[in-house]
Every structure is written in C-alpha cells, then in structure tokens.
Structure 1
Amino acid sequence: MHRRNFLKVVGSSSVILAASTSMIGCSTISGPSADQPWHIAGSNYKDFRMRALSWAILAPNPHNRQPWLVKMIGADSLVLSLDTERMLPETDPYNRQIMIGMGCFSELLRLAAAEDGYHLVIDWFPDGVVSETGTLDNRAIASIQFVKGAEPDGLFKQVSKRRSFKKEFLDKIIDSNILNKIEDAQIEGALINLNNESIFVEKMRKLTIKAMDVELSTERTYLESINLLRIGSDEVKANPDGISLNGYSFTILRMLGLFTHEDARDMNSSGYKQSAEDLLSVLDSAYGYVWITTPGNNRLDQIKAGQNYLRVNLKVTELGLKIHPISQSLQEYDEMGGSMENVNKLTGVNAPERLQMLARLGYGEDISASPRWPVDKMIRS
C-alpha cells in the first residue's frame, strides 16, 4: 500500500534530452497498458462475479503485490485465497499487512457486487485460520456466495478515482469539518481515528519520518523494496505490480542503461542519499492523519481493518482530499520496535488494541493509477 515512488531520478544530460524525441512513450512490449484494468473494470464480462472481481483487483494493497487468487465455484460462489509467492517477509513477517490488503479486496468486491444487486455471504477461513504470528499458507481466506438483495453504496462512485498519493501535499490546511466526515465511512469491526491539530501533526511527522528512515537504512528491508522495482514502461507492462517507476524519464534512463536495479541497490551512492531525503520531505508535508484500530490482532481483525481502510480511501476521495499510507512504524521487525511504541503512545493505543493502519492526509493534484494485472490472472481452475 506505500513507498512505490521513493526513488527520484533527475537527469539533465543532453544525451537523455536528445533521446527523448524518438523514444518517449516507446515500449517494446505489445499488449494492453499496465493501467488498462482501471479503464475496463465492470465491463467485458457476462458473469456478475467476474464483473465484481474486475473492480476488486483495484483495491489498495501492500507494495502493490496483488496477492489474491480466486477459484470459481458453481454459478454463484467463489473461494478467495492467497498467492504465497507475493509476501513481504522482511517488512511484513507475520503477513499482517498482506491480510489487511485482502480485507481491502473483500470490501471492494462487496461494493462492486452490490452495484449488480448482490450481497455477499462470507465464510471466513473455512479451512482453518493461521495465528497472527504464523505464516499464511494456501488455505482459503474466504468462501463467498453472491446472493440477490443488496442496494448500491454511494462510496462505489469513487473507486475509479481512488489513488495513493506519494508526493508532497499542497500547503493547505484541512478543515476539521471536512476531516471529521471521514468517520462516516466506518463499518463494524474497526475504529477510524482522525487528527489535524498542529501539535499532533508535527509530532506525527517526526515519528513517521523516523520510521521511514529505519526502513530505508536497514539493508534487508530496503532491498525488499528495491527487488520489487519496475523501472520504465517495458518492465511495468511486463510485471504490472510492485513499485513502479514509470513515465518518460525512467523509460529513457532504463533504455540507455543509465539507471538500473544495481544502481538502486547501492546504499552508499549519492543517489540513494538524495532519494531518501526526497522521500522524507514528502512525509513532512502531512496536514492530518487517519489511523485504524481494532480490538485485537487476529486475522479477522486484520480483515476488518482492511475493509475500513478501503472505505476511508473512497471517502477521502469523495471529499477532495488525498491519502498516503505510511504504516512503516507499525511493522513487526526488531529495528522498528521503538517507532511502534512511540506511535502507539501518541495515538493512545494500548494492548490488546492494535493500530493496524496509519496514513497521512492533505491536498494535491490528480495522479495516474497504479498498474494492475488483468483480472483473469487471478483466476485458478
């Protein structure tokens, strides 16, 4: 759900500028664009389940790993499971964030089904549940039946416009009356919390910057992100997931061999240091925060957190705000322990309650959508 654009490459070389006249927008890979699923969601399928799934794949998820798998059952049901090859073992060792992403997926599936008049009857973890400290496996996450009788939810109108905003926010205060409307998105199982008070915002900026610095300076967690880089249009189209560095400049740099994965892995380079500084300055532009808590931290709690986070995204979009998940401080690896403790203290979260999601809020320009695999990619026989 974050850190997909933390490398900023600025090139003014005459070679790059000259190349741009003939190479801009070029891709050597044929086929649909990496963002095509955003443009065709809800169409092309007679099966109402496929229509709903074509929307559900647009859900926010950690590092854009898109870990969902689906098996169709009969004429009105499906089984949702997890692609265990799409985990984040370094930054998400207990798969908590992956499970939150599955919660986002399930809620968007529910909203999309309701547009066709169906509600979902969900049996969670029908084959048994993995503990919150265990490693998820290929057991079913949910058995889902589509049943006629649902009314559409107004938040669905925002799905195609939803984005995770990874840039600096505009210098504009969030009115508290607008901020508080985000709470209207809340459904059972989790609590939506908000704050835009200047003292709180300043403290949270510092804490989230510290947490991001921990992740960037810890080699194994940094490299987990780097290994998921897709540099330039060819790589993004070939693998429309992970951390996409798309656009003309990255495409040209990649094609000319001036920016590679090896370059990005060098933590001693001036480029690494500048990129880290750029990302930390982005976090320093927040004008408010939203965080989601659950009564505990079992797998269903994590699902409920994800469902509420999806709804927060849609409500934020409806209100004209932008949102950026910054949950580094909530991650369960040793180096992050102090940051987690400090964020819990600032937000007033005490065990057994669990702070599941944290995101910064502000205003900004419209941005392009993150790449997605076609919906057919997730279907298993």
Structure 2
Amino acid sequence: MAPLRPETVTSILQSAVLAPSSHNTQPWHFEVDDQTISLYADRTRALPANDPEDRELTISCGCALMNLRVAAAHGNWAANYELLPNSEDEDLLAVVQLYSTEPSNSSEAELFSAIAHRRTYRKRFAPREVSRSIIEELVQAAAKEQAWLQVIDSEETRQAVAALVAEGDAIQWSNPSWRRELAAWMHPRRRGDGLTVPGLVLPVAQAVVRTFDMGNGVGANDRQLADESPVLAVLGTDGDGVQDWLAAGQALERVLLRAHRNGLQASHLNQPIQLASLRIKLQHLLGRSGFPQLLLRFGFAEEEIPAAPRRRLEDVVG
C-alpha cells in the first residue's frame, strides 16, 4: 500500500490538534511513518501543580486521538489503533494504522463538521432546556468509548456538586504554586497556546493571579455556573489507569462533538476531580462504582466565541 500523501496527513492532523486540553497546553506530539501515525505525550507541557499525575494531560491526548479517528473516517480512511503499544516508552500513547476504505457513513465520519466549531464555552448558557433525547445521545456516545456519562438530575445533588466546585476553587487558589502555574500559561494569542489574555494587560493579569488568592470570588462564580447549567454531568471510567484516561479522552471528545451536532457547547468544572479529597466526595455523591474523570456542563451558547489559538502543525509533528 502506498504511503499516506503529505496533504492527507496534514488534513488529518490539523483536525487532531483542535482537541481541547487543560490550560490549552496542547500536550501532544505526532510521528508519521508510511501508513502509521504515532501519538506521544509531550510532558514538557505538563501541569505539575494542577495535574500532578498527568491524568488530564493523558485525557487531552485521548481527545486528539478521537479527532484523528473522526478526520480519518471523513477522508475514507479506516483507523485501527493500539493504545500503549510499548511498555518501555510511557510517552507513546497510541499507534494508528490507516487504510484506505470505501466512503463511510460511520458514527465517526458524521462528527467531522463539529471539530472546527466545538468551543470550550465558559460563559452562562441560554436559559433553555436540553431534551432527554439529546442527553441520551450523549450518554450513548460516552458508552461507545468504554466510559460512562452520569447526568446529575437531583437538585440536592446538583447543589452539593456545585459546592464542591467552589470548595475546589478555594483550595487551588490558596496554593501559590498553583497560581504561579496558572499565570505562566496566560499568553497572548500570537503564542498559539495557553489561556489567551490581551498583550497590553498580560503582565498585570499575571501579577494579580500570582499574588492574590481570589478563590472565594472565583468559587462563587463557578458555583453559580454549575448550578445554573441546563445539564451538569460527570464523565467517568470503571478504572483509573493510563488506558482508562485515554478512553475518557476519546469519550469526552465524542460526547463534545455529538453535543455540538445537537447545537450545544460545553465546558468543564474539574476542581472536584483535580483534588483527591474532593474526588472521593464526588464519587460518593454519584452513588456508583468507578472513577469520575471530568465534571461537564452543557447548554446552548448565547453568543459566538473565537476558537482557542493553536500551535503550528510543524511544532507538534516530528
């Protein structure tokens, strides 16, 4: 079989790198060899204060893998992948073999148009109910990737989860190392990564974040966001190892793309999962076995927002 053409690789990887990532770190690296694309974790872009076990880093790479699969299917390529193929190389997360195939009507191919328009929407959603049929689609999307999505329907549980979000904000913002790390990832848009801040106010914004504990104010706002969101849900897995985190990432991106196909946007409020003591509390509130990996909010966006900046493709492909 002839090697992948450069323009095919470029097209597929341009979609892969549009995946979401913590602090928009984009912690992935790709290598291409004939029909094979290898996905590596780029741990130089890790967040040791926010994500000490690289759990969210791995989930982000799983999201990129899902986008790769979707883009391949859209281009009529079958993508056979193996997770963690080399026990001696912990950075090699997946190897994808691509084979030309007939035009596909697969569930992956139909998600392609959503990749470029998915956003992490951190603002308040429109006060509009999401139908049960759409919610069920999202639940099924997670299950397709060996994960689960549990919607928090009870008002009492929703308020308890929102309280955990606020508690998580208070704990994280009280940690100077966490604040310094957050400030370090505040970048002007031209950098192509990080949390975008206009260049003129960037030094002041970084200094404020590094210096002041704003946990109470941020927590109050995030608590309200959680409580008011039309859908609040936890995405989780039965296990809690690297392979489970990759499954969670693929499930997350499939859910986000399926949500966008139904007119929804989403964002996460992961504070109760990033802190071990709160993760146990959240697990208890859910009343089920397994491990919560992401706390998500879904709804209908009230305005268009720009896409987060992306690094140049040549910087993530070797």
> Equivalences for 1:186-265 in 2 at 5 Å?
186=142, 187-230=144-187, 235-237=188-190, 239-245=191-197, 250-254=198-202, 259-265=204-210
Deviations 1:22-42 (A, max 9, x none): xxxxxxxxxxxxxxxxxxxxx
User: Which residue pairs with 1:81 in the alignment?
Assistant: 40
Residue 323 of structure 1 aligns to a residue in which SS? strand
Contact conserved, 1:49 with 1:76, CA < 8 A, in 2? no
User: Which residue pairs with 2:96 in the alignment?
Assistant: 144
Q: Distance in 2 between matches of 1:180 and 1:263?
A: 42
User: Which residue pairs with 2:77 in the alignment?
Assistant: 118
Q: Distance in 2 between matches of 1:325 and 1:83?
A: 22
Higher relative contact order (CA closer than 8 Å, sequence separation 6+): 1
User: Which residue pairs with 1:339 in the alignment?
Assistant: 278
Q: Which runs of 5+ in 2 are unaligned?
A: none
User: Which moves more between the two structures, 259-268 or 101-110?
Assistant: 259-268
Q: Distance in 2 between matches of 1:319 and 1:168?
A: 18
Q: TM-score if structure 1 supplies the norm length? A: 0.74
Aligned-partner residue type, residue 62 of structure 1: S
Residue 180 (str. 1) matches residue 136 (str. 2): yes
User: Which residue pairs with 1:59 in the alignment?
Assistant: 19
Structure with greater Cα Rg = 1
Aligned-partner residue type, residue 301 of structure 1: D
Residue 70 (str. 1) matches residue 30 (str. 2): yes
User: Which residue pairs with 1:20 in the alignment?
Assistant: none
Residue 373 (str. 1) matches residue 315 (str. 2): no
Contact conserved, 2:41 with 2:58, CA < 8 A, in 1? no
Q: Distance in 2 between matches of 1:129 and 1:206?
A: 42
User: Which residue pairs with 1:31 in the alignment?
Assistant: none
> Equivalences for 1:270-349 in 2 at 5 Å?
277-331=220-274, 336-349=275-288
Contact conserved, 1:126 with 1:142, CA < 8 A, in 2? yes
Q: TM-score if structure 2 supplies the norm length? A: 0.88
Q: Distance in 1 between matches of 2:155 and 2:66?
A: 33
Q: Distance in 2 between matches of 1:371 and 1:184?
A: 30
Q: Relative to structure 1, is the Cα distance of residues 185 and 197 closer, same or farther in structure 2, using a 3 angstrom cutoff?
A: same
Contact conserved, 1:65 with 1:241, CA < 8 A, in 2? yes
Superposed displacement of residue 49, structure 1? 1.9
User: Which residue pairs with 1:8 in the alignment?
Assistant: none
Q: Distance in 1 between matches of 2:266 and 2:238?
A: 24
Residue 169 (str. 1) matches residue 125 (str. 2): yes
Residue 94 (str. 1) matches residue 53 (str. 2): yes
User: Which residue pairs with 1:49 in the alignment?
Assistant: 9
User: Which moves more between the two structures, 116-125 or 279-288?
Assistant: 279-288
Q: Relative to structure 1, is the Cα distance of residues 203 and 279 closer, same or farther in structure 2, using a 3 angstrom cutoff?
A: closer
Deviations 1:154-191 (A, max 9, x none): 12221111011111223333333332232232314212
Q: Distance in 2 between matches of 1:57 and 1:219?
A: 31
Contact conserved, 2:234 with 2:295, CA < 8 A, in 1? yes
Residue 225 of structure 1 aligns to a residue in which SS? helix
Q: Distance in 2 between matches of 1:184 and 1:337?
A: 28
Equivalent position to 1:355, from 292, 295, 308: 292
Q: Distance in 2 between matches of 1:368 and 1:285?
A: 23
Superposed displacement of residue 243, structure 1? 1.3
Contact conserved, 1:209 with 1:284, CA < 8 A, in 2? no
Superposed displacement of residue 281, structure 1? 4.0
Superposed displacement of residue 46, structure 1? 4.7
Q: Distance in 2 between matches of 1:129 and 1:89?
A: 22
Contact conserved, 1:329 with 1:339, CA < 8 A, in 2? yes
Q: Relative to structure 1, is the Cα distance of residues 68 and 60 closer, same or farther in structure 2, using a 3 angstrom cutoff?
A: same
C-alpha root-mean-square deviation of aligned residues, in Å? 2.3
Superposed displacement of residue 322, structure 1? 2.2
Q: Relative to structure 1, is the Cα distance of residues 290 and 281 closer, same or farther in structure 2, using a 3 angstrom cutoff?
A: closer
Contact conserved, 2:240 with 2:291, CA < 8 A, in 1? yes
Contact conserved, 2:171 with 2:215, CA < 8 A, in 1? no
Superposed displacement of residue 106, structure 1? 0.6
Contact conserved, 1:267 with 1:273, CA < 8 A, in 2? no
Contact conserved, 2:147 with 2:248, CA < 8 A, in 1? yes
Q: Which runs of 5+ in 1 are unaligned?
A: 1-44, 131-136
Residue 201 of structure 2 aligns to a residue in which SS? helix
Equivalent position to 1:267, from 206, 212, 228: 212
